[in-house]
Amino acid sequence: LGAAAAERLDQALRCALTNLMAPAHAQPVPPPAGTAAGLRYWRDRISVPRDMPLHAARLLRAALERTAALDGPEQGPPLPVRDRRDQNPAPFVGGSVGVSGR
């Protein structure tokens, strides 16, 4: 990410936050051109509850999507599925986890 691209993404995030805080009847603030994929990248990576409460995350994700839609349909890179430590089913397969009291 070059300095110019980082500056545009910073401006796009500021637009999304402005749109989040603005009244419903206000004219939305469009992000800089070419930032839709970056906004959707952040939309897909907001972690609940680690980063914020559920309701706040839903509002932020919606604001990021609304702002990205003002720029275009470009999507961010897909979430990686290889080597995900948070989704490792191994401890739950084959009865390796016992339930006490049964």
Q: What pLDDT digit, counting tens, does each position of 37-95 carry? A: 999 999 998 877 788 899 999 999 999 999 999 999 999 988 877 766 666 667 666 65
Q: Would you say residue 99 lies in a domain?
A: no
Structural domain boundaries, residue 17: 3-77
Q: Would you say residue 82 lies in a domain?
A: no
Degrees (nearest 5) of the Cα angle 40, 46, 49?
160
Q: Is the pLDDT of residue 15 over 90?
A: yes
Q: Would you say residue 89 lies in a domain?
A: no
Q: Would you say residue 12 lies in a domain?
A: yes
Alpha carbon distance 63, 29 (integer Å): 11
Q: With contact defined as beta carbons under 8 Å apart, do 30 and 8 qualify?
A: no
Q: With contact defined as beta carbons under 8 Å apart, do 75 and 44 qualify?
A: no
Structurally, how many domains does the chain consist of?
A: 1
Q: Would you say residue 26 lies in a domain?
A: yes
Q: Would you say residue 30 lies in a domain?
A: yes
Q: Would you say residue 87 lies in a domain?
A: no
Q: Say how many C-beta atoms besides its own lie within 10 A of residue 31's C-beta.
A: 27
Q: Would you say residue 97 lies in a domain?
A: no
Residue 48: predicted pLDDT: 77
